[in-house]
């Protein structure tokens, strides 16, 4: 069966892939994304110590907590006992806030979705906390950067 169909049984019905026979290994995934905004919005976030601390702290915590909810949000994801999650937010250019999340597990299935979910919800939290100042913000470039530990071999995104 082509690999692209692994979530689908013979009649096209969604199912959660059976990982019962897969090896328990240490798996890590890194995902990234951005929130693009007016440069002055990013300055508001990074300038004032108070405001900065809170927007970034809230986004980081929201991202970590969301990673733990991945199996609840994504229909066919396996519920996982994560070993770790980190979420970093850093200015990545004028009006661009970069977000990187790393998740790891000792288990039978990868943690790409956990890392991607952490980035997405951290980004949405930034949007929520700054939308009164800037409704034009755009969340983008959410992608897998690297993963390791699975049967299909390590993956590292090629520079585009």
Interface with its own copies in residues 59-98 (CB under 8 A)? 60-62, 64-66, 68-69, 71-88
Among 44, 46, 98, 148, binds its own copies (CB under 8 A): 44
Instruction: Give, in order, the Cα–Cα distances in Å from 37 to each of 121, 123, 134.
Output: 17, 12, 7
Rule CB under 8 A: is residue 6 a binding residue for its own copies?
Answer: yes
Q: String of b and e for 15-24 (b: at least 16 CB within 10 Å)?
A: eeeeeeeeee
Count residues binding its own copies (CB under 8 A). Answer: 93
Helix axes 39-46, 49-68, angle to 10 degrees: 90
- Residue 76 annotated as binding? yes
- Residue 114 annotated as binding? yes
How far is Cα 144 from Cα 126, in angstroms, rounded to an integer? 20
Among 95, 99, 108, 111, binds its own copies (CB under 8 A): 108
- Residue 16 annotated as binding? no
Among 41, 42, 95, 111, binds its own copies (CB under 8 A): 41
Q: In terms of Cα–Cα distance, which of 156, 97, 90, 107 is closest to 130?
A: 97
- Continuous segment of H or E residues that includes residue 26: strand 25-36
Shortest gap between Cβ of 95 and its own copies (angstroms)? 13
Q: Is 128 labeled as catalytic in the residue annotation?
A: yes
* The token pair that represents 138 in the structure block: 């755009």
Among 25, 91, 141, 148, binds its own copies (CB under 8 A): 141
> Annotated binding site for substrate, which residues?
76-78, 113-114
Active-site residue list: 128
């Amino acid at each position: 069966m082509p690999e692209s169909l692994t979530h689908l049984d013979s009649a096209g019905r969604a199912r959660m892939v059976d990982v019962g026979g897969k090896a328990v290994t240490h798996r890590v995934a890194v995902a990234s994304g951005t929130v693009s905004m007016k440069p002055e919005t990013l300055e508001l976030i990074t300038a004032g110590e108070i405001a900065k601390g809170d927007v970034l702290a809230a986004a980081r915590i929201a991202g970590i907590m969301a990673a733990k909810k991945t199996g609840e949000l994504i229909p066919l994801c396996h519920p996982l006992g994560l070993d770790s999650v980190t979420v970093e937010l850093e200015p990545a250019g004028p009006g661009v806030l970069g977000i990187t999340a790393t998740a790891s597990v000792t288990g039978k299935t990868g943690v790409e979705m956990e890392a991607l979910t952490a980035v997405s919800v951290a980004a949405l939290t930034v949007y929520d906390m700054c939308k009164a100042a800037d409704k034009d913000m755009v969340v983008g470039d959410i992608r897998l950067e690297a993963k390791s530990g699975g049967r299909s071999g390590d993956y590292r995104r090629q520079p585009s």
